[in-house]
């Protein structure tokens, strides 16, 4: 079978809700990433055959096919199409899978997989709660309600269920969150993110940021002076539970992307590959606990790939809530020192549909920096799903 290669990978530094990226229209922010991928690959823009873009809240400024709109706001010619993907938090990871499948099938040679989410401008749940309040109904159909009586799917309930099932105490969750901030702070201070971050101008929603117009290069959610006491003191999300806002991913704005090519694409671009797509798995699981799917998905991916957990040099498991990576570590037996080595979404932010190619960008660059061979990425997704991608550094 033909192979798929990543030749460029980049991301914006995340912005906090109402922060340094909140003045960017998400279409224009995504266009910045598209143009940077073309620049990094040294590609003729006309060689790009498709742009596949993940986005969760596909309404308002992110509606009407945000991928095509980003193409029209970029340097790409009008001949380049675009399509938008919603696999919830794994949307841009799925975009990467679709891009890889396109080039592996031989139908395309150069595809951009990307993601964008402005959670400041298009708030989470906009596509469900706003229509519901307007009397346009709700996504849970009668047949779904019959299958899951009395259940309204909730990531927050899922996080608490995960903590209970895997006997994870609040103290463990707090300690994990602190480590995420410490790793992200160290990676930033050591310049580990410098090669992957695309500087874009600070644009706050009200135009009043102190550094307005200057390059935004540092993930805004990192707490460089985080303490265990400070994290432990944050109010519980649910009375009697153990999760807090401090042990959950941060709401964030951002755009991310990778360029995926075939062997023909490599020759046409004259580019050097960063990594090869080694394996891809998608799996559906229990939508009530919702966040557990990365565990069986990882196990299935390793089995299909003929690999063991110890064969993997680095892991990126999205920190939607601290119980997710902690349960994943417990179930898989992976080495904690290999997991989210530069911190995760608790510190760096989780711009929903942009997080898939965000994690892949960090994973590929970290493999190169550390000399690792194989990297594995996975994340929990609304509806109880997970994608797993295994890449080989080249």
List, by residue number, the catalytic residues: 89, 350, 380
Secondary structure (3-state) at 56: coil
DSSP three-state, residue 64: coil
Angle between helix axes 170-189 and 323-332 (nearest 10 degrees) is 100
**Cα–Cα distance for residue pair 43/271, rounded to 1 Å:** 8
**What token pair was written down for 23?**
């003045």
Would you say 339 and 378 are in contact if contact means Cβ atoms under 8 Å apart?
no
Helices (H), 42-90: 66-72
In which element (H, E) is residue 85 found?
A: strand 82-85
DSSP assignment letter at 214 = S
Look up tokens 């996504």; give the residue.
Answer: 139
- Side-chain-side CA neighbours of 275 within 13 Å: the count stands at 31
- List phi, psi (to 5°) of 87: -115, 45
Cα–Cα distance measured from residue 44 to residue 21, given in angstroms and rounded to the nearest whole number = 29
Sign of CA dihedral 286, 289, 290, 296: negative
């Amino acid at each position: 079978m033909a192979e798929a290669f990543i030749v460029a990978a980049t991301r914006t530094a995340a912005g906090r809700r109402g922060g340094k990226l909140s003045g960017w229209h998400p279409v224009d922010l995504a266009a910045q990433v598209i143009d940077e991928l073309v620049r990094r690959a040294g590609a003729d823009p006309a060689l790009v055959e498709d742009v596949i873009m993940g986005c969760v809240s596909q309404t308002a400024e992110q509606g009407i096919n945000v991928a095509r709109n980003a193409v029209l706001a970029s340097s790409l010619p009008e001949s380049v199409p675009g399509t938008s993907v919603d696999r919830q938090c794994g949307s841009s990871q799925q975009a990467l899978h679709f891009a890889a499948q396109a080039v592996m099938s031989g139908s395309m040679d150069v595809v951009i997989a990307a993601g964008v989410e402005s959670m400041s401008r298009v708030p989470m749940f906009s596509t469900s709660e706003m229509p519901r309040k307007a009397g346009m109904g709700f996504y849970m159909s009668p047949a779904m309600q019959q299958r899951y009586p009395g259940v309204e799917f909730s990531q927050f309930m899922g996080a608490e269920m995960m903590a209970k099932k895997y006997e994870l105490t609040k103290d463990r969750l707090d300690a994990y969150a602190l480590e995420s901030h410490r790793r992200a702070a160290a990676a930033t201070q050591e310049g580990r993110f410098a090669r992957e971050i695309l500087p874009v101008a600070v644009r706050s929603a009200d135009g009043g940021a102190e550094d307005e117009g200057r390059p935004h290069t540092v993930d805004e959610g990192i707490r460089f002076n985080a303490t265990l006491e400070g994290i432990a003191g944050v109010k519980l999300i649910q009375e009697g539970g153990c999760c807090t806002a401090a042990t959950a991913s941060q709401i964030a704005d951002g755009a991310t992307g990778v360029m995926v090519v075939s062997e023909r694409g490599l020759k046409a671009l004259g580019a050097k590959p960063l990594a090869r797509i080694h394996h891809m798995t998608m799996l559906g699981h229990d939508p009530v606990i919702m966040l557990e799917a990365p565990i069986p998905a990882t196990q299935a991916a390793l089995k299909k790939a003929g690999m063991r957990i110890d064969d993997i040099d680095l892991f990126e498991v999205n920190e939607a809530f601290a119980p997710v990576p902690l349960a994943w570590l417990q179930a898989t037996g992976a080495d904690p020192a290999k997991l989210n080595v530069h911190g995760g979404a608790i510190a760096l932010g989780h711009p929903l549909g942009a997080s898939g190619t965000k994690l892949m960008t960090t994973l590929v660059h970290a493999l190169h920096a550390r000399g690792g061979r194989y990297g594995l990425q996975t994340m929990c997704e609304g509806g109880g799903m997970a994608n797993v991608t295994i890449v080989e550094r080249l």
